[in-house]
Structure 1
């Protein structure tokens, strides 16, 4: 059979109402499309694996390659078949159905790409921010991933239903009403959920931080979806709602590098000016002798109610509370010895009441003299 005869046969022979030539062209187009898409996917996968093996920092281009490497092989086959079908002169409603299948394939693939992109971005966030608090970051990353994927696939589903002719207006309205009802029913839970996300993103504290909130002081043990658990100084575990926790002022001691200390003491008013000046110098020498302290100031601050009031300020170069207490004890003992050497006592709080005069009604009456013993033999 020569070329002319083969060409004539291809145009004359029909299958399912279509010529063999058009079917052959459609098949070749489908095969070429499949091969090209497969090669592109393989190239993207190779680039992603090479970058992962080199441990390079992921940029936008690298993330795009990794997203494209997640292309579904089944959808590639479907796309190739649809390209071939587009080369045919299909009867009846088949062209519209092919268009719907195209939309379905593209929507599903976009959903898969979006899911992969979400996973990569959330994983990148978790690795970048999870060095100090992996439990907290893992929980927030899971919540963000779940929320983004739910929103993505809900959008894809609604788009597919709208494309096939389903009226989604009433469906979306019913979803909105149902969502409002559910939100009202679980309002407190959703509040704690969003508070947990806010804690994960804003990081007012992390697991292991020592915080003071309200009347609770302790170390953060766990940050959950609804509650945060704190190991209090007194030994018990305090469970607080995330929403209530964020409504209060939180003192976080994690970033404390040094501690500023202010304390006062008093000496009696009988202290001479020379001794009062020597006390300030003695306090300065005591604090400067400590390697873990930095002297700031020591002044005769005021004339108090019960004596001369001194104010002393110094910096503890270690954030540990026990270090501060040990240092304060040493300073107090040294201060006692210094005052003993100066023969100056501490002022003792006391109150003296001076009565200038009393009203006549309050003056004590002089009691009458006691009656003497009655003579023997005398009767009253």
Structure 2
């Protein structure tokens, strides 16, 4: 009967009514303030994701209604007189609700930040793998700190828990060190950006276009059509040539002319090559020199710059230079060199070739010290 008498007391129901009414009023005021601030900031940002007003508006919009109601109830419970044990419980509840709401705000801010980096806000897009890894690591830290802080506020000894988590983390890291090496290599690729999706790279015997950069592997579409999968850690250990970021090409090529060419025409060849390259679009002439005396030819070395990174355009330019060089040397009556050998017989007679039906030449007597065979070119 005494328990039912407590529920029939007037002061109890009066306090309950005060708490309920105060909770509704406080919740309505807080909800109105949050909605008004959210709308104002969103209007100031003009729906653009790149400014701080939009960022704050999205974070405030993540305010949880249930937690807001809990805040209102906790504020309302301060109005009536409560036992001392209630005040201790309310302080723990306050901290838990505040920690949860702060974690939600930070979670929303980190997700918005990573999405803006991937989509190219504030200039230049970032590697989605890198931003995903960083955002996941930040969120793990945020929620872990939130959980540990709530447990510590409730009086739980978290020292042993933190120590066990540390030992467990070390054990897991040792077990999956190869995978973690590739993951951190992917993070390094995302931060340093030696190459990105769509870049044409060459390393070792592989040449192709980057298709995907994952947590563990990078996938490359080779020139022959197949997909090459390479571990991120192994890829970073090699020298990678990134041709996508090449602005110009330095081209060096050689050709040879006949040894019978007069010296004045040799000089004209260098001048002619320079004139041809200067007249070719998207090129910058560097030099053309008579390099040296090689076997069977007088060698020229030509250097010029192609003002484009497109390989097909470079091949078109080189083809045009070759065709014009071929015509120009014909006009100068200069022949390209062909391999040839001169054979000599010393102290022997020239062999006599007998052909049926033809008169045979008379043999000359005497010792011939030096007779030359026909030249083969």
TM-score under structure 1 normalisation?
A: 0.79
Could you tell me whether the CA contact under 8 Å between 1:48 and 1:69 is conserved in 2?
no
Question: Are 1:172 and 2:165 matched, yes or no?
Answer: no
Question: Are 1:45 and 2:45 matched, yes or no?
Answer: no
What do the CA deviations read for 1:130-158 (whole angstroms, capped 9, x no partner)?
9987xx84444433332222211111000
Deviation, 1:64, is: 2.0
Which one is further off, 268-277 or 105-114? 268-277
Equivalent residue in structure 2 for 1:112, among 76, 99, 104: 104
Question: Are 1:73 and 2:56 matched, yes or no?
Answer: no
Deviation, 1:127, is: 1.6
Other-structure match for 1:189: 179
Deviation, 1:263, is: 1.1
Other-structure match for 2:330: 340
What do the CA deviations read for 1:23-43 (whole angstroms, capped 9, x no partner)?
666556544432321121111
Could you tell me whether the CA contact under 8 Å between 1:48 and 1:66 is conserved in 2?
no
TM-score under structure 2 normalisation?
A: 0.79
Which one is further off, 26-35 or 233-242? 26-35
CA distance, structure 2, for counterparts of residue 35 and residue 247 of structure 1:
60
Structure 2 unaligned spans of 5+: 1-5, 345-377
What do the CA deviations read for 1:197-216 (whole angstroms, capped 9, x no partner)?
22233322222211112221
Structure 2 counterpart SS, 1:86: coil
Let me know the Cα RMSD of the aligned residues: 3.2
Deviation, 1:73, is: 0.9
Q: Which runs of structure 2 are paired with 1:120-139 in the superposition (5 Å)?
A: 120-128=112-120, 137-139=127-129
CA distance, structure 2, for counterparts of residue 126 and residue 259 of structure 1:
31
Structure 1 counterpart SS, 2:120: helix
Equivalent residue in structure 2 for 1:63, among 52, 55, 63: 55
Could you tell me whether the CA contact under 8 Å between 2:289 and 2:301 is conserved in 1?
yes
Other-structure match for 2:347: none
Could you tell me whether the CA contact under 8 Å between 1:48 and 1:65 is conserved in 2?
yes
CA distance, structure 1, for counterparts of residue 8 and residue 111 of structure 2:
47
Could you tell me whether the CA contact under 8 Å between 1:130 and 1:137 is conserved in 2?
no
Other-structure match for 1:8: none
Compared with structure 1, are the counterparts of its residues 16 and 123 closer, same or farther at alpha carbon in structure 2 (3 Å cutoff)? farther
Equivalent residue in structure 2 for 1:145, among 127, 132, 135: 135
Other-structure match for 1:280: 270
Deviation, 1:300, is: 2.1
CA distance, structure 1, for counterparts of residue 55 and residue 124 of structure 2:
25
Could you tell me whether the CA contact under 8 Å between 2:42 and 2:57 is conserved in 1?
no
Q: Which runs of structure 2 are paired with 1:298-309 in the superposition (5 Å)?
A: 298-304=288-294, 307-309=297-299
CA distance, structure 2, for counterparts of residue 64 and residue 337 of structure 1:
70
What is the aligned length? 341
Other-structure match for 1:35: 28
Question: Are 1:253 and 2:265 matched, yes or no?
Answer: no
Deviation, 1:287, is: 1.9
Deviation, 1:229, is: 1.0
Which one is further off, 330-339 or 308-317? 330-339
Which one is further off, 207-216 or 168-177? 207-216
Question: Are 1:262 and 2:252 matched, yes or no?
Answer: yes
